[in-house]
Protein backbone atom coordinates (compact mmCIF):
# COMPACT_ATOMS: atom_id res chain seq x y z
CA UNK A 1 0.00 0.00 0.00
CA UNK A 2 1.35 3.42 -0.97
CA UNK A 3 0.26 6.73 0.56
CA UNK A 4 1.51 10.03 -0.86
CA UNK A 5 2.40 12.91 1.44
CA UNK A 6 5.22 15.01 2.83
CA UNK A 7 8.12 14.05 5.09
CA UNK A 8 9.70 16.44 7.62
CA UNK A 9 13.19 15.28 8.79
CA UNK A 10 13.90 15.38 12.58
CA UNK A 11 14.76 18.86 13.86
CA UNK A 12 14.37 20.49 10.45
CA UNK A 13 11.61 22.53 8.79
CA UNK A 14 12.40 21.14 5.33
CA UNK A 15 9.41 19.51 3.61
CA UNK A 16 10.09 16.65 1.23
CA UNK A 17 7.64 15.00 -1.14
CA UNK A 18 7.43 11.33 -0.30
CA UNK A 19 5.47 8.10 -0.48
CA UNK A 20 4.77 5.96 2.57
CA UNK A 21 4.94 2.30 1.57
CA UNK A 22 3.36 -0.24 3.91
CA UNK A 23 3.03 -4.02 3.74
CA UNK A 24 3.09 -6.92 6.16
CA UNK A 25 6.89 -7.00 6.09
CA UNK A 26 7.37 -3.42 7.26
CA UNK A 27 7.11 0.24 6.26
CA UNK A 28 9.36 2.81 4.66
CA UNK A 29 9.26 6.26 3.07
CA UNK A 30 10.44 6.72 -0.51
CA UNK A 31 11.73 10.17 -1.50
CA UNK A 32 13.05 10.07 -5.06
CA UNK A 33 15.94 7.59 -5.05
CA UNK A 34 16.14 7.62 -1.24
CA UNK A 35 14.46 4.94 0.85
CA UNK A 36 14.00 5.53 4.60
CA UNK A 37 12.88 2.70 6.89
CA UNK A 38 10.38 3.66 9.60
CA UNK A 39 8.59 1.85 12.40
CA UNK A 40 4.96 2.65 11.72
CA UNK A 41 3.79 0.48 14.61
CA UNK A 42 5.31 2.82 17.21
CA UNK A 43 4.39 6.09 15.48
CA UNK A 44 2.14 8.68 17.13
CA UNK A 45 -0.90 9.29 14.96
CA UNK A 46 -2.94 12.51 14.97
CA UNK A 47 -6.71 12.41 15.12
CA UNK A 48 -8.71 12.59 11.92
CA UNK A 49 -10.52 15.94 11.68
CA UNK A 50 -12.63 16.35 8.56
CA UNK A 51 -10.24 16.37 5.59
CA UNK A 52 -7.29 17.94 7.36
CA UNK A 53 -3.91 16.22 6.86
CA UNK A 54 -2.98 13.67 9.49
CA UNK A 55 0.49 13.32 10.95
CA UNK A 56 2.62 10.31 11.78
CA UNK A 57 5.38 11.24 14.23
CA UNK A 58 8.17 8.69 14.50
CA UNK A 59 10.42 7.88 17.45
CA UNK A 60 13.34 9.89 16.00
CA UNK A 61 11.20 13.04 15.66
CA UNK A 62 10.60 12.74 11.93
CA UNK A 63 7.06 13.36 10.69
CA UNK A 64 5.02 12.26 7.71
CA UNK A 65 1.81 14.15 6.78
CA UNK A 66 -0.79 12.68 4.47
CA UNK A 67 -4.36 13.32 3.39
CA UNK A 68 -4.83 9.80 2.11
CA UNK A 69 -8.09 8.37 3.47
CA UNK A 70 -6.52 4.89 3.65
CA UNK A 71 -4.19 5.75 6.54
CA UNK A 72 -6.22 3.79 9.10
CA UNK A 73 -6.13 0.77 6.81
CA UNK A 74 -2.36 1.13 6.45
CA UNK A 75 -1.98 1.29 10.25
CA UNK A 76 -3.83 -1.98 10.63
CA UNK A 77 -1.68 -3.60 7.93
CA UNK A 78 1.47 -2.43 9.74
CA UNK A 79 0.22 -3.84 13.04
CA UNK A 80 -0.60 -0.54 14.71
CA UNK A 81 -4.15 -1.77 15.30
CA UNK A 82 -5.49 1.77 15.53
CA UNK A 83 -9.12 2.38 14.65
CA UNK A 84 -10.44 5.74 13.50
CA UNK A 85 -9.95 8.50 16.07
CA UNK A 86 -12.58 9.63 18.50
CA UNK A 87 -12.99 13.04 16.87
CA UNK A 88 -13.60 11.51 13.46
CA UNK A 89 -16.09 9.00 14.88
CA UNK A 90 -18.02 11.79 16.55
CA UNK A 91 -17.96 13.82 13.35
CA UNK A 92 -19.70 11.01 11.56
CA UNK A 93 -22.47 10.70 14.16
CA UNK A 94 -24.95 13.37 13.14
CA UNK A 95 -26.94 13.11 16.35
CA UNK A 96 -23.84 13.83 18.42
CA UNK A 97 -22.80 16.62 16.05
CA UNK A 98 -26.21 18.30 16.32
CA UNK A 99 -26.18 17.90 20.11
CA UNK A 100 -22.73 19.49 20.30
CA UNK A 101 -23.90 22.34 18.06
CA UNK A 102 -26.89 22.96 20.31
CA UNK A 103 -24.83 22.84 23.52
CA UNK A 104 -22.00 25.09 22.31
CA UNK A 105 -23.88 28.40 22.78
CA UNK A 106 -24.98 27.29 26.25
CA UNK A 107 -21.39 26.36 27.12
CA UNK A 108 -20.04 29.70 25.90
CA UNK A 109 -22.77 31.59 27.78
CA UNK A 110 -22.06 29.66 30.96
CA UNK A 111 -18.34 30.31 30.71
CA UNK A 112 -18.83 34.02 30.00
CA UNK A 113 -21.31 34.69 32.78
CA UNK A 114 -20.23 32.23 35.45
CA UNK A 115 -17.01 30.35 34.65
CA UNK A 116 -14.61 33.12 33.67
CA UNK A 117 -15.78 35.61 36.34
CA UNK A 118 -15.25 32.88 38.95
CA UNK A 119 -11.78 32.05 37.66
CA UNK A 120 -10.70 35.65 37.02
CA UNK A 121 -10.96 36.78 40.64
CA UNK A 122 -8.25 34.48 42.11
CA UNK A 123 -6.13 34.87 38.97
CA UNK A 124 -6.20 38.67 39.23
CA UNK A 125 -4.62 38.42 42.68
CA UNK A 126 -1.50 36.74 41.31
CA UNK A 127 -0.91 38.98 38.29
CA UNK A 128 2.55 40.50 38.90
CA UNK A 129 2.54 44.20 39.90
CA UNK A 130 4.94 44.93 37.04
CA UNK A 131 2.41 43.56 34.55
CA UNK A 132 -0.39 45.65 36.05
CA UNK A 133 1.78 48.77 35.92
CA UNK A 134 2.58 48.05 32.29
CA UNK A 135 -1.16 47.86 31.61
CA UNK A 136 -1.60 51.28 33.23
CA UNK A 137 1.06 52.81 31.02
CA UNK A 138 -0.28 51.19 27.86
CA UNK A 139 -3.89 52.21 28.50
CA UNK A 140 -2.98 55.75 29.52
CA UNK A 141 -0.99 56.13 26.30
CA UNK A 142 -4.03 55.06 24.26
CA UNK A 143 -6.32 57.43 26.15
CA UNK A 144 -3.97 60.39 25.80
CA UNK A 145 -3.39 59.69 22.11
CA UNK A 146 -7.01 59.24 21.09
CA UNK A 147 -9.51 60.37 23.72
CA UNK A 148 -8.16 62.80 26.28
CA UNK A 149 -6.29 66.11 26.07
CA UNK A 150 -4.32 68.12 28.66
CA UNK A 151 -6.33 69.79 31.39
CA UNK A 152 -7.33 73.41 30.89
CA UNK A 153 -8.29 74.06 34.51
CA UNK A 154 -6.36 76.38 36.80
CA UNK A 155 -4.25 75.20 39.73
CA UNK A 156 -7.05 75.70 42.25
CA UNK A 157 -8.98 72.75 40.80
CA UNK A 158 -5.88 70.53 40.91
CA UNK A 159 -5.11 71.52 44.48
CA UNK A 160 -8.68 70.83 45.55
CA UNK A 161 -8.73 67.40 43.93
CA UNK A 162 -5.36 66.50 45.47
CA UNK A 163 -6.53 67.62 48.91
CA UNK A 164 -9.73 65.55 48.69
CA UNK A 165 -7.81 62.46 47.56
CA UNK A 166 -5.34 62.87 50.42
CA UNK A 167 -8.24 62.50 52.87
CA UNK A 168 -8.65 58.85 51.86
CA UNK A 169 -5.14 58.09 50.54
CA UNK A 170 -2.76 59.01 53.33
CA UNK A 171 -0.17 56.50 52.03
CA UNK A 172 -0.06 57.94 48.52
CA UNK A 173 -1.10 54.69 46.86
CA UNK A 174 -3.03 56.38 44.06
CA UNK A 175 -1.94 58.80 41.34
CA UNK A 176 -4.37 61.56 40.39
CA UNK A 177 -4.44 62.59 36.73
CA UNK A 178 -6.61 65.42 35.42
CA UNK A 179 -7.48 65.54 31.73
CA UNK A 180 -9.95 67.37 29.52
CA UNK A 181 -12.59 64.80 28.58
CA UNK A 182 -13.84 66.44 25.38
CA UNK A 183 -16.52 64.24 23.86
CA UNK A 184 -16.32 61.99 26.93
CA UNK A 185 -17.57 64.79 29.12
CA UNK A 186 -17.77 64.62 32.91
CA UNK A 187 -16.17 61.34 33.88
CA UNK A 188 -13.71 59.55 36.11
CA UNK A 189 -12.04 56.19 35.81
CA UNK A 190 -9.42 54.08 37.49
CA UNK A 191 -6.62 52.29 35.66
CA UNK A 192 -5.55 48.82 36.87
CA UNK A 193 -2.52 49.87 38.94
CA UNK A 194 -4.25 52.78 40.65
CA UNK A 195 -4.01 55.84 38.40
CA UNK A 196 -7.22 57.83 38.89
CA UNK A 197 -8.29 59.99 35.94
CA UNK A 198 -10.76 62.83 36.53
CA UNK A 199 -11.91 65.08 33.70
CA UNK A 200 -12.12 68.87 33.72
CA UNK A 201 -15.81 68.60 33.00
CA UNK A 202 -16.44 66.55 36.13
CA UNK A 203 -14.43 68.88 38.37
CA UNK A 204 -16.41 71.84 37.02
CA UNK A 205 -19.64 70.14 38.14
CA UNK A 206 -18.41 69.43 41.67
CA UNK A 207 -19.89 71.88 44.14
CA UNK A 208 -18.90 70.23 47.40
CA UNK A 209 -15.83 68.26 48.40
CA UNK A 210 -18.06 65.36 49.46
CA UNK A 211 -19.17 64.85 45.85
CA UNK A 212 -15.59 64.50 44.61
CA UNK A 213 -14.75 62.31 47.59
CA UNK A 214 -17.58 59.97 46.59
CA UNK A 215 -16.36 59.69 43.00
CA UNK A 216 -12.75 59.02 44.00
CA UNK A 217 -13.81 56.45 46.62
CA UNK A 218 -15.89 54.62 44.01
CA UNK A 219 -12.94 54.45 41.59
CA UNK A 220 -10.59 53.31 44.35
CA UNK A 221 -13.10 50.54 45.04
CA UNK A 222 -12.63 49.34 41.45
CA UNK A 223 -8.85 49.32 41.95
CA UNK A 224 -8.96 47.50 45.28
CA UNK A 225 -11.18 44.77 43.83
CA UNK A 226 -8.97 44.60 40.70
CA UNK A 227 -12.01 44.96 38.48
CA UNK A 228 -10.08 46.09 35.39
CA UNK A 229 -7.67 43.16 35.62
CA UNK A 230 -10.53 40.74 36.17
CA UNK A 231 -12.40 42.19 33.20
CA UNK A 232 -9.34 41.76 30.97
CA UNK A 233 -8.84 38.16 32.13
CA UNK A 234 -12.50 37.41 31.44
CA UNK A 235 -12.23 38.92 27.96
CA UNK A 236 -9.08 36.90 27.30
CA UNK A 237 -10.86 33.72 28.38
CA UNK A 238 -13.77 34.38 26.03
CA UNK A 239 -11.39 35.12 23.14
CA UNK A 240 -9.42 31.92 23.73
CA UNK A 241 -12.59 29.83 24.02
CA UNK A 242 -14.14 31.18 20.82
CA UNK A 243 -10.86 30.84 18.94
CA UNK A 244 -10.49 27.26 20.14
CA UNK A 245 -14.05 26.38 19.17
CA UNK A 246 -13.82 27.90 15.72
CA UNK A 247 -10.20 27.04 15.01
CA UNK A 248 -8.82 30.58 14.75
CA UNK A 249 -6.05 30.31 17.32
CA UNK A 250 -3.80 32.57 15.22
CA UNK A 251 -6.19 35.45 15.87
CA UNK A 252 -6.09 35.24 19.66
CA UNK A 253 -3.25 37.72 20.08
CA UNK A 254 -4.88 40.29 17.81
CA UNK A 255 -8.18 39.85 19.63
CA UNK A 256 -6.59 40.48 23.02
CA UNK A 257 -4.69 43.54 21.82
CA UNK A 258 -7.87 45.04 20.44
CA UNK A 259 -9.91 44.09 23.51
CA UNK A 260 -7.67 45.86 26.03
CA UNK A 261 -8.49 49.44 25.08
CA UNK A 262 -12.06 48.46 24.24
CA UNK A 263 -12.69 46.92 27.65
CA UNK A 264 -11.32 49.93 29.48
CA UNK A 265 -12.88 52.49 27.18
CA UNK A 266 -16.34 51.11 27.69
CA UNK A 267 -15.67 50.00 31.30
CA UNK A 268 -18.59 47.63 30.93
CA UNK A 269 -18.33 46.49 34.50
CA UNK A 270 -20.83 43.93 35.62
CA UNK A 271 -23.50 44.89 38.12
CA UNK A 272 -21.59 42.91 40.74
CA UNK A 273 -18.46 44.99 40.10
CA UNK A 274 -20.44 48.20 40.39
CA UNK A 275 -22.08 47.06 43.61
CA UNK A 276 -18.67 46.29 45.11
CA UNK A 277 -17.38 49.75 44.17
CA UNK A 278 -20.61 51.32 45.46
CA UNK A 279 -20.23 49.57 48.80
CA UNK A 280 -16.64 50.74 49.12
CA UNK A 281 -17.59 54.34 48.34
CA UNK A 282 -20.40 54.35 50.91
CA UNK A 283 -18.08 52.86 53.57
CA UNK A 284 -15.48 55.55 52.90
CA UNK A 285 -18.07 58.32 53.08
CA UNK A 286 -19.30 57.00 56.42
CA UNK A 287 -15.74 56.77 57.75
CA UNK A 288 -15.09 60.36 56.69
CA UNK A 289 -18.33 61.62 58.22
CA UNK A 290 -19.75 62.59 54.83
CA UNK A 291 -23.39 62.06 53.92
CA UNK A 292 -24.19 59.40 51.33
CA UNK A 293 -26.31 62.10 49.72
CA UNK A 294 -23.08 63.47 48.23
CA UNK A 295 -22.80 60.26 46.24
CA UNK A 296 -26.33 60.49 44.89
CA UNK A 297 -25.80 64.19 44.15
CA UNK A 298 -22.72 63.84 41.94
CA UNK A 299 -23.95 60.71 40.20
CA UNK A 300 -27.21 62.46 39.42
CA UNK A 301 -25.21 65.26 37.80
CA UNK A 302 -23.17 62.73 35.82
CA UNK A 303 -26.29 60.96 34.64
CA UNK A 304 -27.82 64.24 33.49
CA UNK A 305 -24.69 65.28 31.63
CA UNK A 306 -24.37 61.89 29.95
CA UNK A 307 -27.99 61.96 28.83
CA UNK A 308 -27.44 65.39 27.38
CA UNK A 309 -24.36 64.19 25.46
CA UNK A 310 -26.32 61.29 23.94
CA UNK A 311 -29.09 63.61 22.85
CA UNK A 312 -26.78 66.16 21.25
CA UNK A 313 -24.14 64.11 19.46
CA UNK A 314 -24.88 60.44 20.13
CA UNK A 315 -21.69 59.94 22.11
CA UNK A 316 -21.65 57.76 25.19
CA UNK A 317 -19.96 58.58 28.43
CA UNK A 318 -16.97 56.67 29.67
CA UNK A 319 -18.70 55.17 32.68
CA UNK A 320 -21.80 54.07 30.84
CA UNK A 321 -22.96 51.97 33.78
CA UNK A 322 -22.93 54.83 36.28
CA UNK A 323 -26.59 55.84 35.71
CA UNK A 324 -27.37 52.36 36.99
CA UNK A 325 -25.07 53.05 39.93
CA UNK A 326 -27.00 56.23 40.71
CA UNK A 327 -30.23 54.27 40.72
CA UNK A 328 -28.78 51.74 43.16
CA UNK A 329 -27.43 54.41 45.45
CA UNK A 330 -30.82 56.11 45.33
CA UNK A 331 -32.41 52.84 46.34
CA UNK A 332 -30.37 52.86 49.55
CA UNK A 333 -32.11 56.03 50.60
CA UNK A 334 -29.11 58.28 50.06
CA UNK A 335 -30.93 60.25 47.37
CA UNK A 336 -33.15 61.71 50.09
CA UNK A 337 -30.13 62.91 52.10
CA UNK A 338 -28.47 66.27 51.76
CA UNK A 339 -24.83 66.37 50.72
CA UNK A 340 -22.78 67.48 53.68
CA UNK A 341 -21.03 66.48 56.89
CA UNK A 342 -22.58 64.04 59.35
CA UNK A 343 -21.41 62.58 62.62
CA UNK A 344 -18.80 59.86 62.19
CA UNK A 345 -19.76 56.40 63.48
CA UNK A 346 -18.19 55.39 66.77
Among 179, 168, 267, which Cα is nearest to 227's? Answer: 267
Question: C-alpha angle 217/261/315, rounded to 5°?
Answer: 80
Burial class (CB within 10 angstroms; exposed 0-12, middle 13-18, buried 19+) of 252 = middle
Q: What percent of the chain has pLDDT over 90?
A: 34
- The domain limits of the chain are 2-88, 123-336
Asked if residue 165 lies in contact with residue 196, where contact means CB atoms within 8 angstroms, the answer is yes
3-state secondary structure 260-312: HHHHHHHCCCCHHHHHHHHHHHHHHHHHCCECCHHHHHHHHHHHHHHHHHHHH
- Torsion of Cα atoms, 244 then 245 then 247 then 253, to 10°: -40
Q: What angle do CA 172, 173, 179 make, to 5 degrees?
A: 85
CA–CA separation, 334 and 295 (whole Å): 8
The DSSP call for residue 233 is H
pTM over 0.85: no
Per-residue pLDDT tens for 212-225?
999 999 999 999 99
The CATH code belonging to domain 2-88 is 2.30.29
Is 90's pLDDT higher than 80? no
Do 27 and 21 touch, CB atoms closer than 8 A? Answer: yes
From the list 213, 160, 216, 207, the residue with the least C-alpha distance to 189 is 216
Radius of gyration of the chain (CA): 30
97-137 pLDDT, tens digit each: 677 677 777 877 777 777 777 888 888 888 899 989 998 89
Q: Which of 37-46, 185-194, 195-204, 242-251 has the lowest mean pLDDT?
A: 242-251
Do residues 75 and 81 make contact, with C-beta atoms less than 8 angstroms apart? Answer: yes
Identify the top-confidence range among 22-26, 81-85, 143-147.
Answer: 143-147
Which pLDDT belongs to residue 5? 94
Triad 4, 78, 19: Cα angle to 5°: 15
Cα–Cα distance measured from residue 177 to residue 186, given in angstroms and rounded to the nearest whole number:
14
**pLDDT of the residue at 64:** 93
pLDDT at 255: 46
Q: Of the candidates 283, 184, 265, 178, which has an alpha carbon nearest to the alpha carbon of residue 224?
A: 283
Amino acid sequence: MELSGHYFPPGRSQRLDGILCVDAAGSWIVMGDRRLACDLRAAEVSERVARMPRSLTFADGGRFDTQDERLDEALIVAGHARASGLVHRLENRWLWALLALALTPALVFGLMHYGFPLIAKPLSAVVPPAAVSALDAHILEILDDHLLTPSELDDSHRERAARVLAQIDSQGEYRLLIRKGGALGANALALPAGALIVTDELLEQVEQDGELLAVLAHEIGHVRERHSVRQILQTAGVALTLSGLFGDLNGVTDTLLVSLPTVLQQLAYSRDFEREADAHALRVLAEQGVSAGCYASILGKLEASQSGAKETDGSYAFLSSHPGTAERVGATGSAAQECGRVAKPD
